[in-house]
Structure 1
């Protein structure tokens, strides 16, 4: 972690800005997994180049995939599943997609794959992944219970078939299994049994990516998915801009007022970040399309909101930062699962928003935020890229705000601080 404090730009005037975003982390890492399991080489156009994507590419390369990375394109040659690999070591960093997706991929290889990650990664829940692998007959070494580090003893094949899991803590447990299910001998008939599953748009993205590659997937009833065994077709795929990363810039215009143009916003997408279009309206902004772009116009005085963010929890930190500058209280619901993200985001947001003058109540499923006279502060990021985005938004309205470890944004947005300074200038 950097010991440097970043002076967040202050912007007392309305904005008139345009931004272009890096590629989607969620789509990049799903495309990488499917390309590594495909029936031929695939090319990813404009993938996200970030720590999370690099960790995924490195993990798949360790399992035998060939990955050639150029500035605008990554070419992926599938890994030969039957080839014995011996011992493999995977660094998950703090990437949820790596620590949840790669164990299921590793089960398909004749290898003992040991996975570990950053200190905080050892605190993130992994029970859904490990229970699922056990249910599929995969042998594991789990010295830390349901946490990293652990080892997957793959034999080169997984039978598949019916499986029931509890994915209440993370939809990534479901996506991990769906991505590899076509390569199971009998496919997969997967059910979620438990409380409400968060982040459903991410499961929709997984299903969309499977179908684009010719995989047969059925959803006969809610919380049940049937994947037929068969080939994963190689695909040259264009990676969409990351709409979750758009949140910081949208939050910026909501608190300063003015106009923001986000270039190349998809007309059809399964990204959770697409929810920003309706969130901005809830805060009182006007949102319209202009050709390929999304244009948001705001007054600079956001309205208080009452939002259920259960399906789009990753957007919560920036939403909370905007709520801290609203004209009245806000209630953010359905986000209890955020306690198991890069940090306990509910507790972290409560701490940092109180630091800048808000009254904040924590609930089992979220937060109530009552704005107060805003003051500058030195804000912690907790090695969490979304907390850094939220701090940057607060800095626009509180002169003298400084941010610890803004470099943590490299997880999904290398160069964020430089882009933010140009945006706010």
Structure 2
């Protein structure tokens, strides 16, 4: 009897019927690409980004900067050339679902002359924006609205100074002000008042790229960052591979057995996704980093874990998928802030894992996942690329699992399904349709 037809946007995730042996080249980091694009638009001269990520989020960022007057074009197949120009309105900015666009660009738009209007996908309208918009108001920038849609009335300059904000909802509120702060007359000092800031490695990444561009940043005091007013030097950089996007491929070695290798894995990095190495090690993988890159080997056995994911929330969906196939219950905590991401990721994971048969309890700041026998069903993604990747990981062990709206991976990794199929080519997989 033939299978019923799938919705054209859905994807039957391949089931791995044997061990994996694959090399996966992961495209550039979204977080670094979008930070570099912002700094290049504010720099004093032409910048070049080599091997940048080209996904929905980064294309939205490039288009938004073009709308403000920046010239961005391919110099060759692997290089983007960014020529800064005076920032000008009026402009319409489409944020899509990209937190980096909706949060990083308002402090930049304040430096433009004219009105800049921001909007995005329906899901983006639910994401918190208040802290960064209130901070701009405190710096004297006219802002209409408290969340998408909103408008900035730029005057070509921002006086700068000290702002207090609560960044417990997103580290991006801090990074947004730091990235533009060097172009403010008096620089900017950002003071966090509130519960601990999530994803601190992302602020460390922002500080590092600013320093690489010649900007003086003082981050010596906890919960306070000072950017001095200065010129921003042009960039000429190779973009590191996106380590968070590598997570589902590395997790596959643990689920199906075998080995997955990711070449060019950096030995030092500010990417939070690097912590996947330690997490997979805790779950029973054999993890090795050498001059050739990172390799992860597994035997199909998955250990449980009790882990604080506060700084690496983007890894949570893949880790939760592994936990649903582990040998004992797992506790994932420190991730209350995931309720404000592309979707409420905690509720989404609890719902979808339970649909497959897991016993999942949602806590104040995380999930308790009790493994049970899993049965195939539709795994809904909620327009969230990380949910789609989690569904692919589950499909390795659950024949017939269907990932709804697989195209949402285009947010950060448009080639995900192609890479996934290439990884499974030698694994005697049960094919997709």
TM range (shorter): over 0.9
- Superimposed CA distance per residue, residues 286-309 of structure 1 (whole angstroms, 9 cap, x where no aligned partner): 111232311111121110100100
Are 2:143 and 1:101 aligned?
no
Q: Tell me what 1:19 maps to.
A: 24
Q: Tell me what 1:358 maps to.
A: 358
- Superimposed CA distance per residue, residues 95-134 of structure 1 (whole angstroms, 9 cap, x where no aligned partner): 0000000111000111100000001011111111111111
SS at match of 2:54: coil
TM-score normalised to the size of structure 1? 0.97
- Note the 1:229-378 alignment, pairs <5 A: 229-378=229-378
Are 2:69 and 1:64 aligned?
yes
Q: Answer yes or no: is the 8 Å Cα contact 1:41–1:234 preserved in 2.
A: yes
SS at match of 2:254: helix
Displacement, 1:254?
1.3
Of 58, 64, 86, which aligns to 1:80? 86
Once residues 391 and 120 of structure 1 are traced to their aligned partners in structure 2, the CA distance between those partners, rounded to angstroms, is: 20
Once residues 122 and 138 of structure 1 are traced to their aligned partners in structure 2, the CA distance between those partners, rounded to angstroms, is: 21
Displacement, 1:3?
4.9
Displacement, 1:364?
1.1
- Superimposed CA distance per residue, residues 249-287 of structure 1 (whole angstroms, 9 cap, x where no aligned partner): 011111111111111100110001100110111101111
- Note the 1:375-386 alignment, pairs <5 A: 375-386=375-386
Are 2:12 and 1:7 aligned?
yes
Once residues 272 and 405 of structure 2 are traced to their aligned partners in structure 1, the CA distance between those partners, rounded to angstroms, is: 26
Once residues 413 and 86 of structure 1 are traced to their aligned partners in structure 2, the CA distance between those partners, rounded to angstroms, is: 31
Are 2:38 and 1:33 aligned?
yes
Q: Answer yes or no: is the 8 Å Cα contact 2:265–2:294 preserved in 1.
A: yes
**Which of 157-166 and 47-56 deviates more?**
157-166
Distance 1:86 1:31, change over 3 A: closer
- Superimposed CA distance per residue, residues 131-175 of structure 1 (whole angstroms, 9 cap, x where no aligned partner): 111111110111xxx320000011111111111111010000000
Distance 1:14 1:41, change over 3 A: same
TM-score normalised to the size of structure 2? 0.95
- Superimposed CA distance per residue, residues 151-202 of structure 1 (whole angstroms, 9 cap, x where no aligned partner): 0011111111111111010000000000000000001111111001000110
SS at match of 2:220: strand
Q: Answer yes or no: is the 8 Å Cα contact 2:142–2:154 preserved in 1.
A: yes
Count of residue correspondences = 418
Displacement, 1:12?
2.7
Displacement, 1:397?
0.3
SS at match of 2:243: coil
Displacement, 1:86?
3.9
- Note the 1:221-236 alignment, pairs <5 A: 221-236=221-236
Once residues 111 and 99 of structure 2 are traced to their aligned partners in structure 1, the CA distance between those partners, rounded to angstroms, is: 20
Q: Answer yes or no: is the 8 Å Cα contact 2:68–2:89 preserved in 1.
A: no
SS at match of 2:118: strand
Q: Tell me what 1:411 maps to.
A: 411
